[in-house]
Amino acid sequence: MSGLVSYLIFFACIVMILGIVTIGLNLQWGFTGIFNAGVVGFYAIGGYTQAILTAAPAAGHLGNFGLPWIVGIAAAMVVTGLAAWLIGWITIGLRDDYLAITSFGIAVTIQLVTLNWSELTGGPNGLTRIARPLASVFDTPAAFNLWFLVLLVLVTAAVYTALERMLQSPWGRVLRAIREDELAAVSLGKSARNFRLQAFVIGSMLMGLAGALYVSFIGFVSPFDFLPIFTFQVWAMLIVGGSGNNRGALLGALVVWSIWTASGVAVTKFVPPSFAAQGAAVQVILIGLALILVLIYRPRGLLGERAMVSRHADS
Amino acid sequence: MIWQALADGILTGAVIALGAIGVSFTLQIMRFANFSHAELLTWGAYVTMVFVAFAGPGSPTSGLSFGWQMMAALSLAAFLTGLTAWALDRVLFRRLRHRGAQHMTLVFASFGAALVLRHLIVLIWGHDSRFYTRELQMTIEVFPGVRVLPDQVFILLVALVVLTALHLFLRFSRTGIAMRATAENPALAQCCGMEVDKVIRATWIIGGALAAAAGVFTGLTPQVNPDVGHQLLLPLFAAAILGGIGSLAGAVVGGLLVGIAENVLLLVVSPGYKQAMSFMLLLVVLLVRPQGIFGERKEGDR
């Protein structure tokens, strides 16, 4: 029984982290219409910043500064934000499917850096002994996971509330205006480029935050935590949950991660180990099918965006 | 060294060009970036593998590692892959198009299709690398200091023949002319009585068949695995956009440039970053000349 409870806590932690990433993507795609196909790249920048700054010092590493956890989290957001600003400054004006290819390529490049720049990133072996918040207070795995879940609930709630407020504000209305009709928004004197860049940077910072949280939750990091499939999973979460709706984004994270985990459990239970690769393939096929079926049969996703019409529209 | 890199670049570039034609035409005629195109390369390679498993690669002839059976298998697989591409359009992309979905919805759908197609291959054939033939080949020295495999020379020749045939088809056949007209201006082409459905079908079948050829040629040197297509995704898009979308000559020149750039840059950059090369090239092209070498400047190209 306690095994199941502790597993559920772990599961909930991962869902929260994925939920933060999905909310970040929702800001970019759902509200602003920026196609970021390199989600995993920004997640990785956050994760590696956290790891490099807070991992316990080790010989032969450029990083591993052993700094406190909270410094890592703050730095992860700043570094991811700067990287997103630089990348966005170059690419944000591209037409959307070219932006998709470009951002996909950026994520590939970032993963190659994590694999090849071993002095900094530990190469394929990754980095270990990364700072975990208050690990000395909550010194059993169960207690730590529970405490981390509480922490994640607070962070997710804060992110959610802050974003909802921003989206209700004039700033959020401009984003939607740009998404719906860029020309009209520009003709009202709004710089589409600046607003898109802002949304891109803030969304990416959330992905970086989530990456840093993930790494400090697990305690180690390797390039194999940041495979391209992650981007597809997050996209599936957003599309299934309903893009343009932050609650949909969170729900999508829960639903898609449940499908992923449940199919993973089923595979390990029922598929003989010699067919493990095939079993893992079934998991990915399910995610791909979920994405396709939702696009065909329920394009708005489970929740979908709430219609925003002026209350004077009827009269 | 540089001459060897150049030769290798031309050989890989010709294969990239074959794969890029489908990407380029889909971008121009159906106006969306089809991320699942790269998986058609893999499908072509594996379907060919099935035929080869039945019939054998054939006895090596005139220095090649395979016989005519291999080419027969390739032709069949190319046909089937073309049909697969068209079937994918029927069950997925066409539905979304007819619903009037945004073109980005099609891009998402192609993401999903790519995942499904790639992992179906893992499901059926597993992760292991496979070989068409166990025949060992000696390189031949074509110029002083430049060595290539006989297979590679053959592949280059086949690619040239296929591309010439495609050029003649686009230039002179009714369907080919309709394809070019639709690429130029879909609305006007429809007004002039071009059957857009027919054009779209031809686009998928040609793109899929060429992708299969590219997949098999990649697999011949030296192996096939479920990622062969996926790893060419960025080079394919780089080649299509670099040359200018919707242009056959563009895809060929783009493919050659991407192949050469990758191999020449490998002389100075660590091979660990090979996959990033074509991406960097793509980025530069998009920033400097988004319409590509052969493309015309149009509103909304960037």
- Binary contact (A105, B33; C-beta < 8 A): no
pLDDT score at B297:
57
Query: What is d(CA A289, CA B109) in angstroms, rounded to the nearest whole number?
Result: 10
Contact between A288 and B119 using a beta-carbon 8 Å cutoff: yes
pTM, two decimals, is 0.88
The confidence score (pLDDT) of residue A315 equals: 43
ipTM of the modeled complex: 0.84
pLDDT single digits (tens) A74-84: 999 999 999 99
Strands (E), chain A: none
Q: Would the CB atoms of B96 and A235 count as touching at under 8 Å?
A: no
CA distance B110 to B105: 9
| pLDDT value for A308 | 61
Among B123, B234, B276, whose Cβ lies nearest the Cβ of A278? B123
Contact criterion met (CB < 8 Å) for B103 and A95 = no
Contacts of A90 in chain B (CB under 8 A): 283, 287
Taking an 8 Å cut-off on Cβ atoms, the answer to whether B301 and A95 are in contact is yes
For chain B, which ranges sit under pLDDT 70? 62, 296-302
Cβ-contact A280, A303 below 8 angstroms = no
φ/ψ of B32, rounded to 5, equals -150, 155
Residues A30-85: tens digit of each pLDDT: 888 888 999 999 999 999 999 999 887 777 778 777 788 888 899 999 999 999 99
Buried-state track B97-123, b at ≥16 Cβ within 10 A, e below 16: beeebeebbbbbbbbbbbbbbbbbbbb
| CB–CB contact B275 A112 (8 Å) | yes
CB contact under 8 A, B119 and A281: yes
pLDDT value, residue A90: 86
Task: Name the 3-class secondary structure at B98.
Answer: helix
B56 dihedral zone (left: phi>0; alpha: psi -120 to 50; beta): left
B63 interfaces chain A, CB cutoff of 8 Å: no
Whether A95 contacts chain B with CB within 8 A: yes
Find chain A residues with C-beta within 8 A of B120's C-beta. 281, 285
B183: closest CA among B15, B302, B298? Answer: B298
Q: Which of B111, B119, B122 sits opposite A291 (nearest CB)?
A: B111
Q: Domain map of chain A by residue range?
A: 3-227, 228-307
Query: In Å, how far is A304's CA from the nearest CA of chain B?
Result: 15
A-chain residues within 8 Å CB-CB of B123?
278, 281-282, 285
On chain B, the residues whose CB falls within 8 A of the CB of A239 are: 108
A102 shares contact with chain B (CB less than 8 Å):
yes
Kindly state whether B79 is in contact with chain A, defined as any CB-CB distance less than 8 angstroms.
Answer: no
In chain B, residues 211-240 whose CB comes closer than 8 Å to chain A: 233-234, 237
B residues 103-142 lying closer than 8 A (beta carbon) to A = 103-105, 107-109, 111-116, 118-120, 122-123, 126-127
Q: Does B30 touch chain A (CB under 8 A)?
A: no
Q: Would you call A295 and B96 a contact, using CB atoms and an 8 Å cutoff? A: yes
Predicted pLDDT at A311: 58
Show the DSSP H helices in B56-139 as ranges: 68-88, 94-98, 103-125
Q: In this structure, what DSSP letter does residue A123 have?
A: G
Q: Measured between CB atoms, which of A94, A100, A108 is closest to B107?
A: A100
From residue B240, alpha-carbon distances to A90, A94, B271 in Å are: 21, 16, 24
The alpha-carbon gap from A288 to the nearest alpha carbon of chain B, in Å, equals 4
Size of interface A-B (CB pairs under 8 A): 128
Residue B140 pairs in a beta bridge with B148
CA dihedral (B178, B181, B185, B191) in degrees, to 10, reads -50
B282–A109 CB contact, under 8 Å: no
Contact A282 B105 (CB under 8 A): no
CA distance A297 to A222: 38
Question: In tens digits, what is the pLDDT along chain A, a chain of 315 residues?
Answer: 578 888 899 999 999 999 999 999 999 998 888 889 999 999 999 999 999 998 877 777 787 777 888 888 999 999 999 999 999 988 888 888 888 888 999 999 999 999 888 888 888 888 888 878 877 777 788 888 889 899 999 999 999 999 999 988 999 888 888 888 888 888 888 888 898 999 999 999 999 999 999 999 988 899 998 988 899 899 999 988 888 889 999 999 999 999 999 988 888 888 888 887 888 888 889 888 988 888 888 888 888 776 665 556 554
Chain A contact for B23 (CB, 8 A cutoff): no
| Contact yes or no for B107 and A284 at CB 8 A | no
The C-alpha of A102 sits at a distance from chain B's nearest C-alpha, in angstroms, of: 7
Residue of B14, B36, B17 lying closest to B233 (CA atoms): B36
Q: Could you tell me if B171 lies within 8 Å of chain A, comparing CB atoms? A: no
Residue of A nearest to B234 (CA): A105
